[in-house]
Amino acid sequence: LAAKLNKAPTEVIKVLMGYGVMAAVNQSIDFDTASIVCEEFGVTCELEDENQAMDDLFDTHYQNEDELVKRPPIITVMGHVDHGKTSLLDAIRHTNVISGEAGGITQHIGAYTIMIKDEKITFIDTPGHEAFTAMRSRGASVTDIAVLVVAADDGVMPQTVEAINHAKDAGVPIIVAVNKIDKPGANPDKVKQELTEYGLVSEDWGGDTICVNISAKKREGIEELLEMILLVAEVEDLKAHPTKKAIGTVIEARLDKQKGTVATLLVKSGVLHDGDIVVCNDVFGKVRAMMDDKGNKVKVAGPSTAIEILGFNEVPGAGEKFFVAENERDGRKYAERRKAIMKENALKKSGPVSLDDLFNQISEGELKELKLIVKADVRGSLEALSQSLEKLNDNDEGVRVSVIHGGVGAIAESDVALAAASNALIIAFNVRPDANAKAMAMKEEVEIRSYNVIYHVMEEIEKALKGLLDPEF
Ligand code: GDP
């Protein structure tokens, strides 16, 4: 601070002492203290918004529209357990061996790219909405299109609904893959019928949801599915900068005994070069080696490409955004500052985000939508609750209530993950969180509010919207 103010450290310390803060020369002080000191010197100081700075950096890639080029779509496969997500990813991987390429079978690095009709498509190789949601809760919107796998012999199941709600909340278009059509009991029409209940109306039924019948096992319909993905990607008009320093997301990262930190990065825009200084929140490093999804050593990686790199000083978090720094000194400086800020925030943390917090945001006009996840013991209560809550929007308070996900049964980790990713509150009606969900809610600072009378739910939410909420102790 002294350096920034162009003052001797002793002068700053003297001011601090005047306010009763006995600071040593290398001690951190918080923003409020710093602004008081600055005021004494006639200087105004502003809090730098790190997230904003990062968003701005990402935005610079897309500023000059005429410089942008088309980039391949990035796909996540979602759906209920055992409906064939892994089988579909395998089928896609194997049927699309790029001709002439040695081996061609992909290594598992967390994502892979295939070629179809001279166009590329990149798949996130961890199926399910858990990874999708984890990444979103760190602020990364990695997925361009979600492929929803529904088994034709089983139909829409709880996790199918979860996946639909996750994709919808993220604003990601959905393509439905009706799988296992080779099975004797397969009934694709029944699946389409069930999907209409969740707002997904198939094209052949007059809606705008693309549904493709496939058999991941017999590898039928895969090509058609891929073509449909390209079609939707075309409409989405996905662009990236072809030459700027890379920006993107960490897909996976781990510590390897021999190699050190191994991380898979997905380049969103720009180009990553061997030797670049990559910064990812509080970790950084010089790219020592880059390997593509076929296990080949590469020197550069362009938009929508996944590469495994060595060189980070520590293991970065999956879903964290990365960028390339000018030089090692800048990279280190940024990472160290982030580390200090995170440490300070961790000390400041005071319990979960609660209805009170959300209410405060509402009254300050910061929150325009109160997102809720409703879990209930029986279907009847769930429907009654959801309908009553949505009805609150009829008398306009300026803040919308939206039930982004509803389900019957105990609160699970996936509910908490969705709440964390979308800044939602969980309403528990005659149900409890399971042990894992409870632990996760503590960690992710998600509030679960329990009720056993519908009237009480309505009363509290209404109060929150109107700003009359009593704090809950
Ligand atoms: P995930 O849990 O969604 O990843 O599902 P899996 O890909 O592991 O598949 C679950 C089971 O369904 C496995 O036994 C697969 O062999 C089987 N399966 C997947 N796709 C098909 C298919 O198209 N037809 C048939 N008959 N079985 C399939």
Question: Given this model, what pLDDT does residue 371 score?
Answer: 87
How far is 405 from 416, CA to CA, in rounded Å? Answer: 11
Ligand 1 center from residue 164 Cα (angstroms): 20
* Ligand 1 center–CA 79 separation, angstroms: 12
Q: Ramachandran region of residue 409, left (φ > 0), alpha (ψ -120 to 50) or beta?
A: left
162-219 residue pLDDT tens: 889 988 988 999 999 999 999 998 999 999 999 999 999 999 899 999 999 999 999 9
Burial of 350 (0-12, 13-18, 19+ CB in 10 A): exposed
Counting from 1 in the atom list of ligand 1, the atom nearest the Cα of 90 is 7
Q: Find the range with the poorest average confidence among 228-242, 305-319, 352-366, 431-445.
A: 352-366
* Closest residue by CA, ligand 1 atom 6: 84
Q: Can you tell me the distance from the alpha carbon of 243 to that of 300, in angstroms, rounded to the nearest whole number?
A: 11
Ligand 1 pocket, mutate which of 82, 85, 147 (most atoms under 8 A from CB): 82
Kindly report which listed range (264-268, 280-284, 339-343) carries the lowest average pLDDT score: 339-343
Residue (of 266, 239, 241) closest to 251 by Cα position: 266
Pocket test for ligand 1, best of 89, 148, 217, 219 (most atoms within 8 A of CB): 217
Closest ligand 1 atom, residue 89 Cα: 7
Nearest CA to ligand 1 atom 17: 84
Q: Average the pLDDT over 56-71 and give the result.
A: 89
Task: Please say if the pLDDT value at position 303 is more than 80.
Answer: yes
> Which pTM was predicted?
0.73
Atom of ligand 1 nearest to the CA of 149: 3
Interstrand relation of 425-429 and 448-451 (parallel, antiparallel or unpaired): parallel
What would the two tokens of residue 115 be?
């070629």
> What percent of the chain shows pLDDT beyond 90?
43
Cα(71) to ligand 1 centroid in Å equals: 31
Ligand 1 atom nearest residue 218's Cα:
23
Annotated binding residues for GTP: 79-86, 125-129, 179-182
Rounded average pLDDT over 93-103: 56
Query: Which of 85, 87, 126, 215 to mutate to test ligand 1, by most ligand atoms within 8 A of the CB atom?
Result: 87
The residue assigned the tokens 């991380």 is 263
Q: Is 275 helix (H, G, I), strand (E, B) or coil?
A: coil
Q: What is the mean pLDDT of the chain?
A: 86
Cα separation values, 453 from 201, 359, 430, 463, Å: 35, 22, 9, 16
> What are 440-463's pLDDT values in tens digits?
898 888 889 999 888 888 888 887
Cβ proximity of 332 and 279 under 8 Å: no
Highest mean pLDDT: which range of 44-48, 122-126, 297-301: 297-301
DSSP 1-18: -HHHHTS-HHHHHHHHHH
DSSP E strands: which ranges in 10-160? 69-70, 74-79, 111-116, 119-124, 145-151
Give the model confidence (pLDDT) of 224-276 as tens digits.
Answer: 999 999 999 999 999 999 999 999 999 988 888 888 899 999 999 999 999 99
Predicted pLDDT at 59: 83
Residue 360 structure tokens = 């405060």
List ligand 1's pocket residues with C-beta within 6 A: 79, 81-87, 127, 179-180, 182-183, 215-217
> Counting atoms of ligand 1 from 1, which one is nearest the CA of 179?
23
Nearest residue (CA) to ligand 1, atom 18: 84
CA of 264 to the centre of ligand 1 (A): 27
